[in-house]
Amino acid sequence: MKQKSSWLPIVMMMLLFGMIGFVTNIAAPAGTIWMSKYDSAAIGMLGNLMNFLAYLVMGIPAGLLLQRIGYKSTALTAIVVGFCGVGVQFISGKLGGDIGFITYLVGAFVAGFSMCMLNTVVNPMLNEMGGGGKKGNVLLQIGSSFNSLLGTIAPVFVGALIGEVTKKTVFADINLVLYISMAIFAVVGIVLALVKIPEPEVETVGKVKSPWKFRHFVLGAIGIFIYVGVEVGIPGTMKFFLENLKEGALNPSAAGTVAATYWFLMLIGRLAGAGIAAKVSSRNLLACTASIAILLIGLGMFMPQSIMISIPVFSKFSFAMQIVPINALFFVLVGLCTATMWGGIFNLAVEGLGASVKKASGIFMMMVVGGGILPLLQNGIVDWTGGNYMLSYIVPLLGLAYLLFYALIGSKNK
């Protein structure tokens, strides 16, 4: 691929990265509606689980599809599937009741297929366009910034549309978000169909090895499973925590702005990370951010909830002050640390894989299911302990400890 012609496909990959963030981040805040209906934090995370469970089912097939029909055709297929998935969720709002909830879960599952296929395209393409190494990580960090930008907007929209949760609150209240999602799919699909996307050329020397033959890849795949679970579980559980405070509970709109601030800080972290990644190795950057995140989660878990603090939150494309327990402040700040982790783990895990990268990307997408399983486990602990949200953060704490291990030891290419 010639460098002078690569800017257009890079822009398209950035837009696709943004779509992934917007559609994915609808599930967790929308879970507030179902959490209230069924009085269970775990049930509130079921839509999120279905969205990420699709990665487990579609991860390997997506990699094979990428090999068979190429990057552009895979992306276009994903866009059609995503439009249908969001459409099914829209229908669920019309049905209502238990049938509506089941239909919603089906829609979230179908939308997850789309997100899996798009991720399978975007990550290896950006990494290869940058030539791998630090430059490849830079493009991944910039792409992740677009992901965070639209991912930040999603919970703000959903929270604002839900407002106060009452017995009359229904899933159809967030239809505007679904309309926007379908419009994004339609517009980007049309533009992508008209744009020429060259296939990245990967040099093949001898027989292509299975990615499972590489120890650092296997440990990296586990790292992706854990990372996505940590990234999603921290703000999703925090939102439920703020909505269920014994004193001074926030409404979904206000709690959504706090969760959105986590994603906004991820955006800031990724923009800064793009510059840092050009000078610092992925291994050192991952080790540093994991260490700081462990400290912040620990402080968030053990600081007294009675200490209230006013923090700036991202609301309606500006900032406003919101009073929250100090625990929420530390959890929000973790967004600065998780910002650069995806690109770093992916970059380290595919180092030296050569032509095995396409297969590796499909496996990676399968492991993204962690974004559904770990938050469900975290909120299962909340239900099991009778509402002990702080104890549930042991899940992301242990996950971050593994990522620190991977950065220091597991990522070494043997």
pTM of this prediction? 0.76
Residue 60's pLDDT is what? 80
Count up the domains in the chain and report the number.
1
What is the mean pLDDT of each successive set of 10 residues along the chain, which is 414 residues long? 55 80 78 77 83 85 82 88 91 84 90 86 72 63 75 75 69 82 86 74 57 88 94 92 88 84 86 77 92 97 94 72 94 93 86 74 82 91 92 97 95 78
CATH of the domain at 246: 1.20.1250.20
**How far apart (Å, rounded) are the C-alpha atoms in residues 323 and 308?**
6
Residue 255's pLDDT is what? 87
Quick check: 45 and 168 in contact, CB under 8 A?
Answer: no
- Name the amino acid, one letter, at 221: A
**How far apart (Å, rounded) are the C-alpha atoms in residues 92 and 98?**
10
132 by DSSP, 3-state: which?
coil
| Residues spanned by the domain of 242 | 3-410
Contacts of 7 (CB under 8 A, 6+ apart): none
For residues 197-231, one letter each, b for 16 or more C-beta atoms within 10 angstroms of the residue's C-beta and e for the rest, the string is bbebeeeeeeeeeebeebebbebbbbbbbbbbbbb
End-to-end CA distance of the chain: 30
User: Which of these, 21, 26, 73, lies nearest to 189 by C-alpha position?
Assistant: 73
Contacts of 277 (CB under 8 A, 6+ apart): 134, 137, 138, 141, 285, 340, 343, 344
Query: Which residue stretches of 130-214 are H helix?
Result: 133-162, 175-194
Cα 222 to chain centroid distance, Å, stands at: 16
| CA dihedral of residues 284, 347, 19, 117 (deg, nearest 10) | -150
Quick check: 387 and 149 in contact, CB under 8 A?
Answer: no
Provide the β-strand partners of residue 312: 321
Provide the sign of the torsion angle of the four alpha carbons 161, 49, 140, 290, taken in this order. positive
Structure tokens at 198: 């060259």
Query: Which residue stretches of 163-247 are H helix?
Result: 175-194, 215-243
Quick check: 123 and 364 in contact, CB under 8 A?
Answer: yes
Residue 335's pLDDT is what? 93
Quick check: 249 and 389 in contact, CB under 8 A?
Answer: no
Structure tokens at 224: 């992706």
Tell me the helix, strand and coil percentages in the chain, rounded to 5.
Answer: 80, 5, 20
| CA dihedral of residues 134, 138, 141, 142 (deg, nearest 10) | -170
Residue 3's pLDDT is what? 42
Residue 2's pLDDT is what? 41
